[in-house]
Amino acid sequence: MKTFSFKIDPLTGEEYYEVYLRGRQLLNDPFLNKGSAFTKEERLALDLDGRLPAAVSTMESQLEKSLESFRRKQDDLEKYLFLSSLLDRSEPLFYRLLVENLTEMVPIVYTPTVGLACQQLSRIARRFRGTYITPDNIGHIDRIFQSISQPHISLIVVTDGERILGLGDLGADGMGIPVGKVSLYVAAGGLHPACCLPVMLDVGTNNERLLNDPLYLGHRRPRLTGQDYEDMVERFVLGVQRNFSGALLQWEDFAKHTAFKNLDRYYKRILSFNDDIQGTGAVALSALMTGVRAQKSNFRDQRFVIVGMGQAGSGVARNIRAMLLEEGLSDEEARARLFALDMPGLLMEDTPGLEEQQLPYGQRRANVAGWKLDDPNKISLDDVVRNAKPTALIGVTAQRGLFDAKILSELVKNAAHPIVLALSNPTSKSECTPEELAAATGGRGLLATGSPFPPLKWDRRTIHTSQCNNVYIFPGLGLGALVAQAPRITGRMFIAASKAISRMVSPTQEANGFLLPEMVDIRTVSLAVAKAVAIEAREAGLGRMLEDDEYERVIRKAQWEPRFSSYRPG
């Protein structure tokens, strides 16, 4: 049963919600609950008279109390639980609080705190959000989707919990990730919360800790694999197509062996993308664009080293390669400037067992001829940094301290301002810290990290470290694709998004170490990304034929502002 509908008064043009709930049911609905802010007229019309204190409060007064309560919490997990409870009580109030305190609260609702919450979700969850699809109920997927009370679904964020951040298989406890991503779509991108649906494909878990935990709430069986798994994903996608035509599907935190397969199989069939591959690649490209601009250089004059060629690393490599080709290099010239390392060391054209997404980045033997190696049987990171003389170093390895003083000191020999992206989450797994980079480079290194770090006082100046957070990309990209009514998302849309983000970093911010805009400007960033993506969709023949200014107007209109709306009984 739908709990409300979006309406416009044909006489006055007033926007309001036609509400189908009454009394206590209305107060228990997080999309609709306004607490003590219901007007006297609404209280009478919706059977709330006598269920609330006499005073009619404002959102501002509730916001003040909520912020005080949040800041009284003693640790990040307690803050996460407070915000989760507020989300379950009143979504408009939660999102207003989040939008007005993004820098402070994004690390709580998403990385790094969400990882800690997911590790304990079965033990700390108080209410359950989103939809859980299992092998036992996949046959009823139409009934499950049709029972959703939200008036319209435009966005679905789905995970199977197999690769949650850098923490591995967390099974159904990985639901904290889609819930967190939806929160960022709303707060940063401006999608209406009632149009967003987090989904867990609970296909089991191979995590022995969870399987043996009597409090674990997920599907207590080993993971589905092979054809059984693929059949379940296919039935899920078909269910989405039947019930939510035109919705955007974001694949989130799938393991490498399924992530690339799902992305390749479905990106032309349904509006969809994988944030771990494409989103990470795009936000990293934005940071690199800014760093290259700060060097007063260009991509073709850089030499890039990427360590960790899983989903994120492959996504970063794909985007770097696209930029090198855009600047006029051939495939072979681009390959010679991009050095990719994984478990076997430097990936070579003849490295056994290269995965399909790694093949374009296997280095030619001729390009490393004459290198001085510590071990002729394996080309290590030290070997690559010493011989290739890179100007940019990217890590997605979850190996704390991988970029040590020796490597960073070698790096600074190759560029006045070398670029380092230490992208692993959470903070405890970062390849290096701002202090370590500054010490090794004399404060000249440019750094972006996967998790947030505070500003660093160094040599009578303050160095800022940008968080290379996908929130700069996916909310705006999703909004732009939906507004453009694109049937699919292309690689060029991500490139357009990356350029839009980098353009927003001012010269003053560049001078202070920023490689990305400040988090406080994320809604403006999302608007710019959405517009760039929509225009790219139009130019590719995949979007509505609106003029640039009209796209900006429509996107601004689509961005929901957290507020208490007017209600009328339905």
- By annotation, the residues acting in catalysis are 110, 181
Residues 6+ apart with CB under 8 A from 232: 133, 135, 138, 201, 203, 224
Q: Report DSSP letters for 511-549, one per residue.
A: HTT-SS--GGGHHHHHHHHHHHHHHHHHHTT-S----HH
Q: Report DSSP letters for 319-383, one per residue.
A: HHHHHHHHTT--HHHHHHTEEEEETTEE-BTT-TT--GGGGGGPBPGGGGTT---S-TT---HHH
The radius of gyration computed from the CA coordinates of the chain, to the nearest angstrom, equals: 24
CB neighbours of residue 14 within 10 Å: 11
Residue type, position 196, single letter: C
| Pick from 223, 220, 242: nearest CA to 232 | 223
Token code pair at residue 459: 């040599």
| Pick from 344, 340, 377: nearest CA to 362 | 340
CB 265 within 8 A of CB 231: no
Residue type, position 539, single letter: E
Around 356, how many Cα atoms within 13 Å sit in the side-chain half-sphere?
A: 7
Distance from chain centroid for Cα 269: 22
CB neighbours of residue 539 within 10 Å: 11
Taking the C-alpha atoms of residue 516 and residue 525, their distance in angstroms, rounded to an integer, is 10
Q: Report DSSP letters for 444-487, one per residue.
A: --EEEESS----EEETTEEE--EE--GGGTHHHHHHHHHHHT-S
Crossing angle of the two packed helices 91-100 and 76-89, in degrees rounded to 10: 140
Burial pattern 382-395, b for ≥16 Cβ within 10 A else e, equals ebbbbbbebbbbbb
Strand pairing report for 4-8 and 15-19:
antiparallel
Any idea what the Cα angle at residue 374 is, between residues 373 and 375, rounded to 5°?
90
CB 397 within 8 A of CB 371: no
- Specify the DSSP class assigned to residue 565: -
